[in-house]
């Protein structure tokens, strides 16, 4: 597999101990081979948009030259973070300026279709945040528009460009895990999803995630990113989903559940369980693959392999960096292990130096420079998004829902 470097290394680490790991081919910082600097406009500068601006600023040859938001206060806030950038009140105005080569779309999910298609039709390079859209119909429309786009179009499902996830996928697709038994994921955070405002109109616009007419709840807004990890690793998609949800903590009149659980079944009988809550942060966000030889736990910046006692020994485990989890011992999956070992910093560097969105944006920019394909296509994002939509439908209705990915 091209993203995995299967070379083994052995070098002396602190305390005279040796460290061994499979090493992913980490993307270089900068040096994208762009013929000229890439001028990027960011559309939507709420929390996610501002994070995107910050991560784009780390990439050599990339400049945020335009900021667009319909909310005047957020537009001003975005401009304060992008020195020298021009502010635009509309997408049309930004695209007509001729000042941007590429755009990153980070507007609310239910606006992605309109904004995204306008950008795709303009011929610029486009990065679309995920979930891709609010409805199945919008996903189909964006997929169709992306197929005819002149620029490089990337979807922001971040697992596929994450170096730790690429490394762990090499283990998963080998005998290290063996037979897949089951899968589980969760996303627990203590946050209200409420953005305060004294202006009723602005408050309604900012709090779209709490409007069931515009939001697919926790399963859609959060779960989509994680569901795609399972799609990517297994090459399969669930066919049915059931679920339940409730408002367990935020008794403020909301109807969008603050706590959910759903179960997905695959055609071969494999099961995926998913839990999420806004009311408790224990365990954070992670995905787990349970196999007959080992389990892999992924935590976005970190990854671990937990071997079964009866699993065959492959030799390198003796030298691997390890971490204790109660009664279980995990072998840390270390991105960039060779370089860290040479510097004597192996144990310090078990996590990624940047957030997952950085690597997704870096992958997009590298695809622009090489005129290649990004790690995640719009079509793949459409499928993951529709799975999230179906999960939310099952949770809201309390019924088992068929997942229809035909035509995507």
Give the per-residue pLDDT at 323: 77
Q: What is the pLDDT of residues 147-182, one digit of tens each?
A: 999 999 999 999 999 999 998 998 898 888 999 999
The three-state DSSP-derived secondary structure of the chain is: CCCEEEEECCEECHHHCEECCEEECCCCCCCCCCCCCEEEEEECCCHHHHHHHHHHCCCCCEEEEEEECCCHHHHHHHHHHCCCCEEECCHHHHHHCCCCCEEEECCCHHHHHHHHHHHHHHCCEEEEECCCCCCHHHHHHHHHHHHCCCCCEEEECHHHHCHHHHHHHHHHCCCCCCCEEEEEEEEECECCCCCCCCCHHHHHHHCHHHCCCCCCHHHHHHHHHHHHHHHHHHCCCCCEEEEEEECCCCCCCCCCCCEEEEEEECCCCCEEEEEEECECCCCCEEEEEEECCEEEEECCCCEEEEECCCCCCCCHHHHCCEEEECCEEEEECCCCHHHHHHCCCCCCCCCCCCCHHHHHHHHHHHHHHHCCCCCCCHHHHHHHHHHHHHHHHHHHHCCCEECCCCCC
Cβ-contact 318, 7 below 8 angstroms: no
Cα separations (Å) of 114 from 99, 176, 316?
Answer: 21, 45, 51
At residue 9 the predicted structure's pLDDT band, cuts being 50, 70 and 90, is very low
Share of the chain above pLDDT 90, in %: 77
- Contact of 130 with 229, CB cutoff 8 Å: no
Supply the pLDDT for residue 316. Answer: 59
Quickly state the pLDDT bin for 331 (edges 50, 70, 90): confident
Q: Is the pLDDT of residue 30 over 50?
A: no
Question: Which of these ranges, 30-44, 127-141, 182-196, has the smallest mean pLDDT?
Answer: 30-44
Structure-token pair, residue 79? 């401009």
Q: Which residues of 232-253 are buried (b: 16+ CB within 10 A; e: fewer)?
A: bbbeebbeebbbebebeebeee
Which pLDDT tens digit goes with each residue over 271-298? 999 999 999 999 999 999 999 999 999 9
Rg value, the chain, Cα: 22
Domains 4-19+163-354+385-401 and 38-160 share a fold: no
Comparing CA positions, the residue from 305, 207, 303, 223 lying closest to residue 256 is 207
327 conformational bin, left if phi > 0, alpha if psi -120 to 50, beta if neither = alpha
4-19+163-354+385-401: CATH, from 3.30.360.10, 3.30.365.10, 3.90.850.10, 3.40.1190.20 = 3.30.360.10
Share of the chain above pLDDT 70, in %: 86
C-alpha 136/C-alpha 98 separation (Å) is: 32
Mean pLDDT of 188-202: 96
CA–CA gap between residue 348 and residue 217 (Å, rounded): 37
Q: Indicate if the pLDDT at residue 14 is higher than 60.
A: no
Report the C-alpha gap between 333 and 176 in whole angstroms. 13
* pLDDT of 7 above 90: no
Domain boundaries, the chain: 4-19+163-354+385-401, 38-160
pLDDT of residue 335: 63
What is the predicted pLDDT for the residue at 29?
Answer: 34
Say if residue 68's pLDDT is above 80: yes
pLDDT of residue 315: 62
78: pLDDT strictly greater than 50:
yes
Average pLDDT over residues 220-225: 98
Report strand pairing: 22-24 vs 86-88.
unpaired
First-to-last C-alpha distance (Å) of the chain: 25
Cα angle at 59 between 139 and 157, to 5 degrees?
25
Which of the four pLDDT bands, split at 50, 70 and 90, describes residue 330? Answer: confident
Quick one: pLDDT band at residue 339, thresholds 50, 70, 90? very low
Note whether 396 and 220 are within 8 A (CB): no
Query: How much is the pLDDT for 350?
Result: 63
CATH superfamily for domain 38-160: NAD(P)-binding Rossmann-like Domain (3.40.50.720)
């Amino acid at each position: 597999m091209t993203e995995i470097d299967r070379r083994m290394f052995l070098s002396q680490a602190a305390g005279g101990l040796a460290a061994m790991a499979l090493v992913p081919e980490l993307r270089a910082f900068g040096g994208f081979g762009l013929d000229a600097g890439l001028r990027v406009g960011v559309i939507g500068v709420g929390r996610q948009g501002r994070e995107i601006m910050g991560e784009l600023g780390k990439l050599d040859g990339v400049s945020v030259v335009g900021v667009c938001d319909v909310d005047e206060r957020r537009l001003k806030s975005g401009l304060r973070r992008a020195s020298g950038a021009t502010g635009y009140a509309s997408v049309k105005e930004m695209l007509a300026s001729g000042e941007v080569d590429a755009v990153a779309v980070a507007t609310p999910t239910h606006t992605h279709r309109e904004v995204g298609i306008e950008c795709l039709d303009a011929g610029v390079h486009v990065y679309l945040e995920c979930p891709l859209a609010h409805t199945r119909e919008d996903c189909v429309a964006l997929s169709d528009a992306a197929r005819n786009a002149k620029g490089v179009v990337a979807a922001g499902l971040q697992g596929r460009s994450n170096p730790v996830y690429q490394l762990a996928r090499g283990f998963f697709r080998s005998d290290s895990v063996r037979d897949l038994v089951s899968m589980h994921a969760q996303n627990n955070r203590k946050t209200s999803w409420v953005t305060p405002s004294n202006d009723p109109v602005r408050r309604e616009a900012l709090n779209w995630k709490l409007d069931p007419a515009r939001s697919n709840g926790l399963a859609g807004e959060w779960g989509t990113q994680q569901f795609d990890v399972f799609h990517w690793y297994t090459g399969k998609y669930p066919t049915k989903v059931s679920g339940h949800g409730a408002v367990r903590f935020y008794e403020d009149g909301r109807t969008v559940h603050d706590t959910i659980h759903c179960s997905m079944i695959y055609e071969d009988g494999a099961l995926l369980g998913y839990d999420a809550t806004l009311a408790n942060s224990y365990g954070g966000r992670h995905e787990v693959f349970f196999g007959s030889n080992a389990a892999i736990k992924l935590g976005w910046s970190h990854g671990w392999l937990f071997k079964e006692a009866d699993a065959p020994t492959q030799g390198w485990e003796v030298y691997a960096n390890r971490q204790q989890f109660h009664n279980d011992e995990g072998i840390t999956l270390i991105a960039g292990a060779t370089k860290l070992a040479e510097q004597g910093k192996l144990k310090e560097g078990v996590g990624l130096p940047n957030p997952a969105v950085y690597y997704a944006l870096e992958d997009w920019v590298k695809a622009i420079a090489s005129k290649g394909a990004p790690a995640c296509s719009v079509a793949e994002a459409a499928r993951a998004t529709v799975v999230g939509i179906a999960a939310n439908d099952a949770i809201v209705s309390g019924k088992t829902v068929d997942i229809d990915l035909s035509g995507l």
